[in-house]
Structure 1
Amino acid sequence: MNIMLVNYRHPSSRPYRSIMHLPRERAFEIADQLYKSSQCRAHKRFGPDFEFYYAYRLQVEQALYNEFMELGGKPQLKHPFYFVLEYCDAFYENFDHGVCVKLPLNEIDPFDISFTFGDSMAQFESDDRQPVFLVDTLYSYIKNYNQDIRLFLNKIIPKYKCIEAQLWTNKYFPCESRDSNESQ
């Protein structure tokens, strides 16, 4: 199975960045810059309510981290980089039809990545929230759809919009991207 991980970003943003990898004060400065420079839907989270968003995201990421560890994951970072499987029309629109960065899932060590049904932030307090799962569980879900990732995604998209992937390392990124997370 050739499954791609896709990360969406606004055209003005650099790839392989997470505001959560910055010191808190710097994260708030960058959030303000992003909010002021682009009013795409995804950057609205960096607006006046960013303090709430930031605290909530810390809470969600701690829960994701804990669940991943309980499953035997080996995170190298406290805060993941976010991808979706194959595509997510909603995210693509949220980033103003921006740039997609893709990584082949078969090149990712299974202990470096976890998955959730839907956006982990949006699903965190939802009654429909499903637990974090690993690659082997993902493959078993897809197997139930004749090994067809598109059939599987088409089934879950009406309810969850996507399968989110949390990548807990930066080792799959170009070296220059691993050295600095300063520019979002």
Structure 2
Amino acid sequence: MYLYHFFDKSTGPFQNISDLSVDDAKAVLNGIKQTKPNSQCAQRHDKYVEYRRNCENIIRSEFIKKGGKISRTVPHYMVVEFSPWLSTWYENSEYIKIPVEEFDMNTLSFTYGDSMPTFSPTINDGREYRHQLYTYKEILKIIDKYGLPQDWNDDGKYGPERYIEVHVWSDETVGKYRHCTV
């Protein structure tokens, strides 16, 4: 299994707005809206930063309950396997592909789909993976049961899950790739 991180070539990999203050994160998003209006990130709503931080608080709390090892306040984001849809998010799209074995599995959590709709109070379709955070071993069972979302729902026709999101709660492996030129 490979974990993928998609990013804009002009900014480089693993640049997380959640590492910034709320005001600085909003300024970055506003800058993206001005300079890269065709990117998916430019389509985010005005309360995105607040919603993202709330979701990160939920997934961090849930991961701690499962015994996960956390050395970052907010995670780095990746996905399980290649996502055609995510590859279109940036005007100058690029990705890094890392074998999952390079990570300490105790620092990885997963949601079946993006964490924000997964934990959204407005999505209540009864699917077993809603409002659920998984460890590595747990997500393997969910993948066996449902497959990869990008294989059956890349266009979003069947719901918000288009990929499996990975939350990397450590800089250890990511640090090797942070300044990677691809």
TM range (shorter): 0.7 to 0.9
Superimposed CA distance per residue, residues 67-123 of structure 1 (whole angstroms, 9 cap, x where no aligned partner) = 111111011112111111001122112224710112211111111110001011123
Query: What does 1:136-155 align with in structure 2 at a 5 Å threshold?
Result: 136-142=137-143, 144=144, 152-153=147-148, 154=151
Q: Report what 2:2 is aligned to.
A: 4
Pick aligned residue for 2:31 from 30, 33, 39:
33
Note the aligned Cα RMSD (angstroms). Answer: 2.4
Q: 5+ unaligned residues in a row in structure 1: which ranges?
A: 146-150, 179-184
Superimposed CA distance per residue, residues 122-172 of structure 1 (whole angstroms, 9 cap, x where no aligned partner) = 232222424000011123344x47xxxxx8213576542111101111111
Could you state the TM-score of these two structures normalised by the residue count of structure 2?
0.80
* Greater alpha carbon shift after TM alignment, 78-87 vs 133-142: 133-142
* Greater alpha carbon shift after TM alignment, 110-119 vs 165-174: 165-174
Alpha-carbon spacing, 1:124–1:45, altered in 2? closer, same or farther (3 Å): farther
| Greater helix proportion | 1
Report % sequence identity.
22
Matched length: 167
Could you state the TM-score of these two structures normalised by the residue count of structure 1?
0.79
Residue 103 of structure 1 pairs with residue 98 of structure 2: yes
Equivalent residue of 1:89, what SS? coil
Q: Report what 2:70 is aligned to.
A: 75
Q: 5+ unaligned residues in a row in structure 2: which ranges?
A: none
- Counterpart CA distance in 2 for 1:45 and 1:55 is 15
Residue 85 of structure 1 pairs with residue 80 of structure 2: yes
